[in-house]
Structure formats: C-alpha cells, structure tokens
C-alpha cells in the first residue's frame, strides 16, 4: 500500500509534472537553508513574531522533513 502510494507520487512528480531529478535537488537545497536558519534562530524569530519558540521549531522541522522526503523522491526519479 505505502509502496504503491510512493510510486504514484514519484510518477506524478516525474512524469505528470515533468520535474527532473536535478530540479528536485535544486529545490531541496533552496529549501534546506531557510529551514536550517529557522531552526538555528528559532528563539529570536519567535520573539520577533511574538509566538512561542516551539512554533518556529515545528515550522523548521516541517521544512527539513519535506527536504528529506524529496531527497528520497530525487533518488527514485534518478533511477
């Protein structure tokens, strides 16, 4: 079930949308840096935007988690 969902997702990214593995890699790199910076400066950003620091941590983890997921997709597309 999960494998079939993953294969469908990779086909959607690669064939239906026409995104190449290199484009996925560039997108991952462009998203990783802001995710890492949000994680590193989460206390300062939370104070600036008047929200709990945990909110900034969750945002950073979601961004970096998405980057990791697309790293897996990148490998599948390259094959």
Q: Average pLDDT, stretch 14-36?
A: 89
What is residue 14's predicted lDDT score, i.e. its pLDDT?
Answer: 83
Domain of residue 40, residue span: 2-78
| Phi, psi of 43, rounded to the nearest 5 degrees | -70, -45
Structural domain total, the chain? 1
Which are the contacts of 6, defined by CB distance < 8 A and separation ≥ 6? 76
For residues 61 and 77, give the distance between their C-alpha atoms in angstroms, rounded to a whole number.
24
Q: How confident is the model at residue 42 (pLDDT cuts 50, 70, 90)?
A: very high
Contact 67, 28 (CB under 8 A): yes
- Taking 90 as the threshold, does the pLDDT of residue 52 lie above it? yes
% pLDDT > 70, the chain: 100
pTM metric for this prediction: 0.77
Tokens of 45: 């950003």
Residue 34 has pLDDT above 90, yes or no: yes
Distance (Å, whole) CA 13 – CA 33: 22
Cα separation, 6 vs 1, whole angstroms: 9
The mean per-residue pLDDT over the stretch 38-55 comes to 95
């Amino acid at each position: 079930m999960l494998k079939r969902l993953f294969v469908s997702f990779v086909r959607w990214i690669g064939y239906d949308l026409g995104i190449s593995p290199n484009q996925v890699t560039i997108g991952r790199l462009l998203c990783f840096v802001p995710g890492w910076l949000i994680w590193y400066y989460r206390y300062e950003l939370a104070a600036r935007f008047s929200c709990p620091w945990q909110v900034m941590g969750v945002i950073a983890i979601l961004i970096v988690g998405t980057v990791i997921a697309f790293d897996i997709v990148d490998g599948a597309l390259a094959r």
